[in-house]
Each structure stands twice: as C-alpha cells, then as structure tokens.
Chain A
Amino acid sequence: MDKSDKPKVLIVDDEKGLRVGTKRLLELEGYKVDAAENGTEGIALGTKTEYDLAIIDLKMPDIDGIEVLKEIINVYPNTICFIATAYASYETAIESTKIGAYSYIPKPFLPDELLFQLKKGYNRRLLLVESEKWRSERETRLLEVAFEKTRLNTIINSITDGVLVVNKAGEAVLFNPSALKYLQLDVIRIEENIIDKLHPEIALLITKILEDENSNQKSYSAQVDVLTNYELFIEATSSPVPHPDGTLAGVVVVIKNITELKKIEHLKSQFVSMVSHELKAPIAAVYGYLKLFTDGTVKISDEQRQNFIMRSQLRLDSLLKMVNDLLDISRIEMKAVHREIREINLQVVLEGIIELFQLKLKDKDLTVTASYAVKCPSIKADNDEITRLFTNIVSNAIKYNKVGGEINITVKNLDSYNIVEIKDSGIGMRQEEKEKLFQEFFRAKNEYTKNISGTGLGLSIVKRIADSYAGKIEVESEYNNGTLFRVYLPC
C-alpha cells in the first residue's frame, strides 16, 4: 500500500458535535474522514468503500453500533473498527471484540488517546493488508505451479527428442514417450533402477556423471546405433542436474533421432569413395604407362609406346567426361542456379538430338522411327536439362544397340503427364543389372559391353533431371532383346 495515501476513516455517530469535532481533529492529523450521522448511513458508506478505520458509536437511535460493525466487517474484514461508547463496560467491550471490533473507545475521549488508538489500529490494518496480499499471491502462485507442472509434462511428452531424468541413485525420475522409443524399452517405471536396462553406451553417459561429482558442468554425448542397418541411430547427451546449492541431484539424458542424418552421411561417404575409385582408376592406368616410359626397367617398342599413348589419351578423355558429368550432377542437385524455364516443344528437342547423332546412327546402321502425338506436348523446363536427359537416353539406345538395329521414339499425353518412350533393339539388361541402373558409376558388365565406354553417370543424371521436374522414369528390358525407357514429365 502506498504510504503517502491518507488513512481513510469513517465516523458513525448520531451526536453532531462529536462527529464534527472528531472529523476536524483527524483531518488536521492527516486522515481522510467521512462521517455518517446514523447506523443506516454508516452501513451504506462502510460497505460501499473500504475504509482503513471506522469509529462506530454503540448506541444510535436507528441501528445498534454492533449491527453496523457486523455489516461492515462482513464486507471488508480488514477494516479496523472501534466501538465508541459512553457506557463503557467490560461486557460490551468483550462482545464487540468478539464480533470483530479491534478495540473500543470510551466516550468522551481525549484527542491524544483517540489518535494513539487509531495509530495502533492503522498499523494493525497495514499488517492485515500485507498478509492478505501475501496469502493471495501465494495462492495464485500455487495455482500457477500446478498449472506449470501439467504444462511442463505436456511439453516434455510432446517433444520429439527423448528425455530421461535419473536421480543420484540411478533411478528413473522422469521420461517421455520418445525416450521409450529411442531406448527401445517397453516400459520405464518411475523409481526403478534404470541404468542396467539401458544400452551400455548410454548407461556409461549417466554413470560418468554420477560417479564424478566434481565435474558439475560437464556433458557427455555418444552416437549409438540402437538398431543396426540404419534402422535407428541416436545421439544421447547427458548433463548433470544440480540442486539449488550446486550439489548433484541427478542426470538428464536427451536423446535425438539422427537416423536420417546418418543415412545421408553414409550415402555421402559411399559416393565419395565410389567417385575416388572411379577417378583414381584412369589416373592409375595412365600413371602406369608413364612409369613404363620413364622407369627404364622395361624395354618398350615404338609400336607399344604409340599404343600406350593412345590408350592413355582415351583414359584421360573419359576422366574428363566423368568430371564434367559429376559437375552436372552437382549442378542439378543445387537446383540449377542458371535454370532458364521456358516453353519447350518435345518434338523439337528429340528431332534435334537425332540430328546430332546422325553420324553415329549411320556408323551402326540404325533406323530411327518416331511418332508424335497430334497435339505435340510442350513443357515448361530448362531446355539444356531436358535436352541432356533425352540425349543420354538416346545415346545409350545407340551405344547398346546391335548393328542394323532400330530405335523407336513415341511421344504422347496421358492425364497430366507427357510421356516419351525410347525403345531400342539392343542388348538389353538382366534383372540384376536393371535394379542398379540408376546408381552412380554402375555399368552393366558382360560380353556385349566390354568395348563400350562410359562414365556410369549418364542415367543417374537422367534420373536426377527427371526427379527435379517431379517426373519419373520406367524401364522395361529383356536381356539380348532391347530396352524401353519411358519418361513421364508433368504437363
């Protein structure tokens, strides 16, 4: 309560002289005073506003002072009430204080005595108000705490990371459903000893902290494959939970599901090792030849030398091509910074590609037939990418075709897709080869393909381009009988 506030006093007395006199006296002393000339008015005022203090005459013509007192403290129990009476007696004093009067003042009263009593009463009032404030604050806080607790539980149960809290004795204190899932436990009972039930590596994270009370700030973490084959990979981090005084209360373990991350990491490292192998093979071959020339331990004829130089050149050509393909792959993966989307007519693209391959088609004596839908489809895409996609497929249809074979191209619409079919009468694929077709660096190896060169990246580029336009690719193939590529591109 603001201390500069003037204490508010209500005087209820039917005696005008006393009422006015007291009012003046108190106002001089810094009180704010209202006065009522009878019981009815007294009740009306005293129950309408909360007064700090009230001086109530006991005997009034209309309503008894005790009644007025009752009514006021019924509404404002913290109003400090004095009963003033000319008929001071022990009984009335007892009665009024029993009902709730703070004290009684015998009439007539001396100013000093009144002021002393009021001051005492006002201090009492301040105490009451203060304690009431505390009580109500405490009640709200308790409510808040209860609410916070349920809310916290709801939050902990909702987070996708696993949370497990263990006390100093190694007993489970708190956990959420994700923790059960990631720890592969059917049930955790509160207060059961949990450490032995945990994966040893996670248990170690907890015991490290429990056994070393001094390292209060340290956290430990570990990556654990809970289920093998990249089914469930987690990262658990344990941190000490301190008491308010800083001593160790327990350990909290947060468990993250990092399976997807690990899968990507694995794919990446596989890809890197495949790339390095593929890049290193031609380097090793060329290096081998160069060493033969320079080493001097082996005698080489001019003819051999010429042959090795030519073969080195071929290896370097294919190495260069591979590096370009890899750059293309990374460009597609980065969602093509330079992509120029415009309306592309598939017929124009395909005819352009066939034109480009005229020489190679002639070399192998291949016949190309093409049929385009009456309303030939056009799509919105980057011309270079779409051209690359079909160039790679047509190039394969030529490379893996037999001399004198055929290539059939069909373009049609189906629902919301444009479909391009490229069919060759070539060497086809075995089932196991078909399955690996789109893997980077995969190249079918059999008696037919021995002398066909390639980077093993062409079709993975095809797939990446199709994927990036939300399209798809189907392959039908029969070993020794030809292959059909069907490309779906959304209209």
Chain B
Amino acid sequence: MQKIAIIDDDPDILDASNLVLTSKGYEVIMASNPNDGYKIVKENNPDLIILDVMMNEPDDGFFLAQKLRKENINTPILMYTSVSKSIGMDFGINEMVPVNDFVEKPISPEQLIAKVEKLLRIKVEE
C-alpha cells in the first residue's frame, strides 16, 4: 500500500483529503504544521508528500520542501496553493520551489486523485 503524507494547517482540508485518499486505498499520515510534517516524513518515508504552501508563515511550505530536498529526500511533492499567485510567488518549479506539481484550492476529489496517481506513476517508472 502506498503511503501519502499530508501537511496542512487546516483540519478540514486534512480530513477531506484524508477521506478521499484512504477511499482509494492509500495509507495517509497527517501533520498540521511544518515541524510535525518534517517528522512524519522522516519517520514514515512516504511515497508522496502533499504540502500546503501557507501555514504559519506565507512560505512555510516552500521552506519545508527546500529542507527535504537538501537532505536528499526526493519523494514527489504535490503542493497545495490558494493565493500564492497573487503574492507574486514564482510558480515555476525550480531550485527554490523544489516540488513536482501544484494543485489550487479548493480541490475536487477527482482532481486530487488524478494528480496523486500521476505523480505516483512517475515515481514507479523511475
């Protein structure tokens, strides 16, 4: 069973995403802040990380992604965003934004599943 870590400070988003992913047979682990998020990734070595950009600070998500990459954790990261575009954050995937894909909130279950499956497939192929 593939393991997915969701890191988001909004409990409702966590629960809804959790429900969607578990119904598809994934094992889900959750954290509601960057510190706990880092811990569950280190401890559980998930196959995919879903990460919210804006938690305590507007770019907490980016920092956590950079930190993981620096430690050579190359698990695919799907980033949840809401208003990052309007703050002028660079949406290009690059060294500063070391994630694999974005999904804009609000998220429909269909869309989420499609993105998750795509990233996991790439991982398997690699």
**Is A110 an interface residue, CB under 8 A from the partner?**
no
**Would B54 and A445 count as touching, CB distance under 8 A?**
no
Which residues of B sit under 8 angstroms from A203, Cβ to Cβ? none
**Is B105 an interface residue, CB under 8 A from the partner?**
yes
**Is B20 an interface residue, CB under 8 A from the partner?**
yes
Q: Which of A117-125, A291-299, A386-394, A476-484 contacts B (4 or more CB under 8 A)?
A: A291-299
Q: Which of B68-76, B91-99, B107-115, B117-125 contacts A (4 or more CB under 8 A)?
A: B107-115
A300-B18 Cα distance, complex, nearest whole Å: 12
Report A284-304 residues with CB < 8 Å from chain B CB.
Answer: 284-289, 291-292, 295, 297-300, 304
**Would A273 and B83 count as touching, CB distance under 8 A?**
yes
**Is A142 an interface residue, CB under 8 A from the partner?**
no
Q: Smallest distance from the beta carbon of A36 to chain B beta carbons, Å?
A: 96
Which residues of A sit under 8 angstroms from B113, Cβ to Cβ? 297
Which residues of A sit under 8 angstroms from B16, Cβ to Cβ? 285, 288-289, 291-292, 308
Which residues of B sit under 8 angstroms from A288, Cβ to Cβ? 12-13, 16-17, 105-107
**Is B87 an interface residue, CB under 8 A from the partner?**
yes
**Is A281 an interface residue, CB under 8 A from the partner?**
yes
Q: Smallest distance from the beta carbon of A450 to chain B beta carbons, Å?
A: 8
Which residues of B sit under 8 angstroms from A300, Cβ to Cβ? 19
**Would B105 and A280 count as touching, CB distance under 8 A?**
yes
Given the known interface contacts A285-B12, A289-B16, A315-B12, the answer about A297 and B109 at a Cβ–Cβ threshold of 8 Å is yes
Chain A, residue nearest B9 (CB): A445
**Would B56 and A445 count as touching, CB distance under 8 A?**
yes
Chain A, residue nearest B56 (CB): A445
Contact of B10 among A281, A292, A304 (CB under 8 A): A281
**Would B33 and A291 count as touching, CB distance under 8 A?**
no
**Would A298 and B105 count as touching, CB distance under 8 A?**
no
Report B1-41 residues with CB < 8 Å from chain A CB.
Answer: 9-10, 12-13, 15-17, 19-20, 23, 33
**Is A277 an interface residue, CB under 8 A from the partner?**
yes
Which residues of A sit under 8 angstroms from B83, Cβ to Cβ? 273, 276-277, 280
Which residues of A sit under 8 angstroms from B86, Cβ to Cβ? 272-273, 276
**Is B45 an interface residue, CB under 8 A from the partner?**
no
**Is B44 an interface residue, CB under 8 A from the partner?**
no
**Is B82 an interface residue, CB under 8 A from the partner?**
yes
Contact of A277 among B13, B15, B54, B109 (CB under 8 A): B54
**Is A126 an interface residue, CB under 8 A from the partner?**
no
Chain A, residue nearest B55 (CB): A445
Q: Smallest distance from the beta carbon of B62 to chain A beta carbons, Å?
A: 15
**Is A311 an interface residue, CB under 8 A from the partner?**
yes
Given the known interface contacts A280-B82, A298-B109, the answer about A292 and B20 at a Cβ–Cβ threshold of 8 Å is yes
Q: Smallest distance from the beta carbon of B56 to chain A beta carbons, Å?
A: 6
Which residues of A sit under 8 angstroms from B54, Cβ to Cβ? 277
Chain B, residue nearest A443 (CB): B56
Given the known interface contacts A272-B86, A280-B105, A291-B106, the answer about A298 and B20 at a Cβ–Cβ threshold of 8 Å is yes
Given the known interface contacts A273-B83, A277-B83, A284-B82, the answer about A297 and B12 at a Cβ–Cβ threshold of 8 Å is no
Interface string of A40-61 (1 = CB under 8 A from B): 0000000000000000000000
A287-B10 Cα distance, complex, nearest whole Å: 13
Given the known interface contacts A273-B87, A281-B82, the answer about A297 and B23 at a Cβ–Cβ threshold of 8 Å is yes
**Would B12 and A287 count as touching, CB distance under 8 A?**
no
Which residues of A sit under 8 angstroms from B9, Cβ to Cβ? 445
Which residues of B sit under 8 angstroms from A311, Cβ to Cβ? 12, 15
Which residues of A sit under 8 angstroms from B20, Cβ to Cβ? 292, 297-298
Choose among A277, A283, A288 the residue with the greatest number of B CB atoms under 10 Å from its CB.
A288
Q: Smallest distance from the beta carbon of B15 to chain A beta carbons, Å?
A: 8
Q: Smallest distance from the beta carbon of A18 to chain B beta carbons, Å?
A: 104
**Would A287 and B106 count as touching, CB distance under 8 A?**
yes
10 cross-chain pairs, A with B, having the tightest CB-CB distances, nearest first: A287-B106, A285-B12, A284-B105, A284-B106, A288-B16, A298-B23, A273-B87, A276-B83, A277-B83, A291-B108
Can you list 29 residue pairs at the A/B interface with Cβ under 8 Å? A273-B83, A276-B82, A276-B83, A276-B86, A277-B54, A277-B58, A280-B82, A280-B83, A281-B10, A281-B82, A281-B105, A284-B107, A285-B12, A285-B13, A285-B106, A287-B106, A288-B106, A289-B12, A291-B106, A292-B109, A295-B109, A295-B110, A297-B23, A298-B19, A299-B23, A304-B19, A445-B9, A445-B33, A445-B56
